[in-house]
Amino acid sequence: MHRVIEEEPAPPQPYPVRVIDDHELFSATLTMALRNEGLDARQLPVADVYDFVSEPLTDRVGLVVLDLDLDRDADGHYVHGADLVKGLRAAGWKVLVVSGGMDQRGTASAIAAGAIGTVPKSRSFDVLLSTVLIAAGGLPVMSEAEHQDWLERHFQYQAQERELSRRLSRLSHREREVLELLAGGMRAAAIAEHFVVSMPTVRSQIRSLLAKLDVGSQLEAVALLRQAPTRTSTQDEAPR
């Protein structure tokens, strides 16, 4: 009687990986390292990112390693990685965020939009590569506690943005223009010349905008303006 030998099931294949990063050296190095590990890894130019997001993943799950600061697309528009996460998830891709800066707000937005985790570029390349390999293998790279912490940060950032928008919305169109010129380093005399108005008029506008923003100095007003988000978040609310 012959004994039937059951074959061991083949280990699952790692996800294909697409690296979206405008830093050519980093992107090329990571892609080559992943290929050396046997993965289907490719670089994706930032100029092609919107076409890529609009195409659904047809065969199986894949992983996108996504930088947050992506510079500009083919039309010259600034691209923030967090704004791509929702579309990538809808197309079937898992998203691992990498960032070279201190963009905590952007990282929180990306996690809230569905990114599976984040790893800073400041970590060693071995750690970064290991994290990508874990994610490409379908394993978690972020604990539930870490996920909840990022969501809480996202909600806090949203509340801060709403309050800031509320305060800035008190300004008239001309007061907002004056504030933006102050933020650009222009003094009151130059602003008066720019708008062809008197110095007392500009001083009155500055006093008015300070009162409406509830701040005591031009420096505080400029600081508030600079805190205003420069992009539109893709995720107004995230599930708790």
pLDDT for res 93? 92
For residues 53 and 45, give the distance between their C-alpha atoms in angstroms, rounded to a whole number. Answer: 12
SS3 per residue for 93-117: EEEEEEECCCCHHHHHHHHHCCCCE
pLDDT-wise least confident of 18-22, 73-77, 105-109, 157-161: 73-77
- Closest among 168, 204, 206, 215 to 187, alpha carbons compared: 206
pTM of the model: 0.76
pLDDT-wise least confident of 158-162, 178-182, 188-192, 207-211: 158-162
pLDDT for res 232? 44
Among the ranges 52-66, 183-197, 224-238, which has the highest mean pLDDT value? 183-197
Can you give the residue ranges of every domain in the chain? 17-142, 160-227
CATH superfamily of 17-142: Response regulator (3.40.50.2300)
pLDDT for res 238? 45
- Amino acid, single-letter form, for residue 40: D
Tell me the pLDDT tens digit for each residue of 185-198. Answer: 999 999 999 999 99
Residue 71 has pLDDT above 80, yes or no: no
Tell me the pLDDT tens digit for each residue of 77-86. Answer: 777 889 999 9
- Closest among 116, 118, 55, 113 to 86, alpha carbons compared: 113
For residues 169 and 224, give the distance between their C-alpha atoms in angstroms, rounded to a whole number. Answer: 12
Domain 160-227 has CATH 1.10.10.10: yes
Tell me the pLDDT tens digit for each residue of 125-175. Answer: 999 999 999 999 999 999 999 999 999 999 999 999 899 999 999 999 999
For residues 119 and 155, is the Cβ–Cβ distance under 8 A? Answer: no
